[in-house]
Chains A and B, each alone.
Chain A
Amino acid sequence: MLSDSISLNLVELGHFAANLAMVMALIQGLAPILARWLDEPRLASLSVSASVLVFVLTTIGGATLIHAFVTSNFSVEYVAQHSNTLLPIFYKVTALWGAHEGSLYLWVWILTLYTAIVTLRGRTRYPEHLPIILAVQGWLVVGFFGLILFLSSPFERLLPVFPQEGRDLNPILQDPGMVIHPPMLYLGYVGFSVPFAFAITALLTRWKSELWIGLTRRWALIAWGFLTVGIILGGWWAYYELGWGGYWAWDPVENASFMPWLLGTALIHSITVQERRHMLHAWNIFLVISAFALSLLGTFLVRSGVLSSVHAFSVDPGRGLYILSFMVIVLSVSFGIFMKQGRYQQARESINSMLSRESLFIWNNVLFTVACATVMLGTLYPLALDALTGSKITVAAPYFNAVVVPLFLLVLMLMGIATQVPWRKARMEKLRARLLWPSVIGLLAGAAMTIAYWPVHWTGPVGVGLVAFVATTIFTDFGRALKQRRAQLSEPMARAALKTILGNRRHYGGMIVHLGILVMAIGFVGSGLFRSEMTVAMKTGDVVEIGGERIRFDGVDAFPRANYQTVEAKFTLLNSGRIVQPERRKYPVQAAPTTEAGIDSTILRDVYVVLAEAAGDHWAVHVYVNPLVSFIWNGGIIILIGLFLTLSTRRKALSQKMPATEPVEA
């Protein structure tokens, strides 16, 4: 059977393609250097052609791996370890990134995808700088392919004798959230490689910053958006799948994704200062390099096994050492270039006033940088302390909540003030007038909450007060713009509102993102401070009362599903008549059963039921009532809408001029 044997060994073609991709990436990285060395400028264009080839070859490699999963080709070790014939086809495809080797492959695949997009867009927009940008990307591809092909190859075979049945994908990864969480996160992580390549190129070629900073801003926004979505999806997955009633544990790997997000947030704000006021060139390049460095650090922390975590599937000192050396090389080279060239462009303007948009952006950067450094310190401190003194301590949620939450409250305050302050210099009387009502409403909201929920942790009223403050500034701003527009043009309200937003997409996109953050903040206050939980032993017919909900246990039912056995319980929420069905799943390949929480979600609260273990005719049941959790996910959606709006601006598109004359009313 010829076709069978082709199908069985197709993965060898993929392996070959991946090797070739690494060689091509090497050419991509070397071409501009050789061009300069041999004084043969035409050579540089090799990196442009190579970059497209690298993507095509990497895709061939990835496609053959997916093919191996779909056809359950257990002669491939990685497939045999992480898939089996019973696995639903959907999870077979996504099992590619279910473990160490494959997720690294996905990483490099996304990197080559980004590189190819840069190539396609750059050939007409920035042709002279394209080869160098691609060379930087090429070296990153080489670095990661080296790790994949030599130390953690997903192409390893089990020949001549291979198993007829595979083990299984880790059951907790068999979940839709897990299917999209890693690619989104990687699109974010790897996305910062594009601004990084632009920044290094700019340093090397003394590229005028006006010409590249706008491009970099868009890439940074895209990377930031994917990272945001990836992080929120990770929280969503943890909430639905891990069954402890929460969504964010300050797990070191969560922190690893949070750190580039924090610096990325600082970056997308301070880039605006550079665009509008021609300052902070060096600082922005520093932020770009650091954000990418933190992406690499994240990879190192996750993949090297120095941290114990749900995500750390690899404990192999060789790989850790490789990633560490790679990171050290990338960092010393890029920061070396930065130290030497960082000040190639002088600021052409200066701060005019302490009270101006640009100086408040500086404070934004101060807060986000401190938050990032704090998270980094907390994540690495136990490792350093252990290595230096041998004493072990735990730095977990209590620490991070205690130090990061106050910083974020300061960020919220700044968020409200900064949008009211114009560029260059604010007039004090005007600012005071603009902030008066928002402050009053914020104080009232905080006071009302203190009275209604006394005794309450101070972060609650302060958080809610600040949310009300910022929200009022956003809406009064919008109202003012709307009023001005309607004073000039006689338009119906809805049309005027839409036109106002679409006429300044960048601004209102940003404001919508801010609103999304506010909605999430409400969710954090509600679910963080007002959660009720209870652990009870229940038998069929028992009722438990928690957080204003009455929940009746209606018994369990056991039956088989495609690739696991399930015990499904039924609980009725007596207040609304709705039903939640938590499960305990037993996968044949794993000893310990996994729990699926049963969740009834409304806007105001989630009832979250976890079936623990049975003792006689009683079941131990964890019941949580989590207020306002849906705000967190909905806030994420609002952020995405705002981001799309911001990105939908064409760079050169000027808003349509208003008609010179008003149409005369008949």
Chain B
Amino acid sequence: MRKHFLFLLCLTFALPVFAAEVKEDPLERQTLAIAKDLRCAVCQSQPVSESNSDLARDMRAIIREQLEAGKSREEIVEYFVARYGNYVLMKPPYDQTGTLLWLAPALLLIAMAIGGWLFLRNRKDVELPPVATLSKEDRARVKAAEEAARKEDEAEK
């Protein structure tokens, strides 16, 4: 439905200006889709699809050639990995070089969460070492007074 509407819209706009509607070359779209997953080896951490460097341009041309020759996406990616190594993959591989990298965030989160939980739990009911030589009743009274003052304070806000 939406497509039809847009088509009509295009038609109404296109006729008076005699403009030619340009469509994207489907091969170009495929090329860029593959280039997105490959790193331009001479750039900063930029994919081949976004770089303007000569190498990236050549790589795009190669991808295009190979697509024209009927090669699949996997074959093309493999071709570049064979030449440049895993370095050329934008996404780190899940093999022995990359596993630690992928697992680390989860492990870190678990470790820190255990640390945080232990901190919270450990302190929960522990009475702290006395600050001065106040008796238990005194401290209770001070605490109660502090609490009351804070409550009053909060109520004021």
In the complex, are the beta carbons of B97 and A391 less than 8 A apart? yes
Q: Which of A387-415 contact B (CB under 8 A)?
A: 389, 391-399, 403, 407
From known contacts A370-B109, A374-B108, infer whether A396 and B39 are also in contact, taking CB-CB under 8 Å: yes
Distance of A574 Cα from B32 Cα, bound (Å): 27
Per-residue A-contact encoding for B108-141, CB less than 8 Å = 1, 0 else: 1100110110011101101011010000000000
Query: Which of the candidate stretches A246-254, A462-470, A521-529 sits at the interface with the other chain?
Result: A246-254
Query: B34: which A residues are within 8 A, CB to CB?
Result: none
B131 touches A393 (CB 8 A): no
State the CA gap A535–B48 with chains docked (Å): 14
Residue A493 lies at the interface, judged by CB distance under 8 Å to chain B: no
Quick one: CB contact mask for B29-67 with A, threshold 8 Å, 1 for yes?
000100001010000111100111000000000000000
Report yes or no: B45 in contact with A249, Cβ–Cβ below 8 A. yes
Instruction: Name the residue on A nearest B51 (C-beta).
Output: A244
Residues of A within 8 A of B157 (CB): 503-504, 655
Contacting residues, chain B, for A394 (C-beta < 8 A): 39, 45, 86-90, 92
Task: Kindly report which residue of chain B lies nearest to residue A575, judged by CB atoms.
Answer: B13
Contact assessment for B90 and A393 in the assembled complex, using a CB-CB cutoff below 8 Å: no
Are A366's CB and B115's CB within 8 A?
Answer: yes
Determine if A13 is an interface residue (Cβ-Cβ < 8 Å): no
Contact between chains at A354 and B97 (CB < 8 Å): no
One of A65-73, A287-295, A542-550 contacting the partner: A542-550
Given A250-B45, A535-B24, A543-B21, also A350-B126 (CB < 8 A): yes
Residue B22 is within 8 A (CB to CB) of chain A in the complex: yes
Question: From residue B67, how far is it (CB to closest CB) to chain A in Å?
Answer: 15
A365 CB–B CB distance under 8 Å = yes
Stretch in contact with the other chain, from A179-187, A330-338, A341-349: A341-349
Is residue A148 contacting chain B, with contact meaning CB distance below 8 A?
no
Binary CB contact string for chain A from 637 to 661 against chain B (1 if under 8 A, 0 otherwise): 0000000000000000001011000
Q: 29 A–B contact pairs at CB < 8 A?
A: A244-B46, A244-B51, A347-B128, A351-B120, A354-B121, A363-B116, A369-B112, A373-B108, A377-B101, A377-B104, A377-B105, A381-B100, A392-B85, A392-B87, A393-B89, A397-B45, A399-B101, A407-B105, A503-B157, A504-B157, A535-B24, A535-B28, A537-B22, A542-B22, A543-B19, A544-B21, A544-B22, A544-B24, A592-B52
Interface residues of A (CB under 8 A from B): 243-246, 249-252, 308-310, 346-354, 359, 362-363, 365-367, 369-370, 373-374, 377-378, 381, 385, 389, 391-399, 403, 407, 503-504, 534-538, 541-545, 548, 550, 552, 574, 592, 595, 612, 655, 657-658
Residues of B within 8 A of A (CB): 6, 10, 13-14, 17-25, 28, 32, 37, 39, 44-47, 50-52, 85-93, 97-98, 100-102, 104-105, 108-109, 112-113, 115-116, 119-121, 123-124, 126, 128-129, 131, 156-157
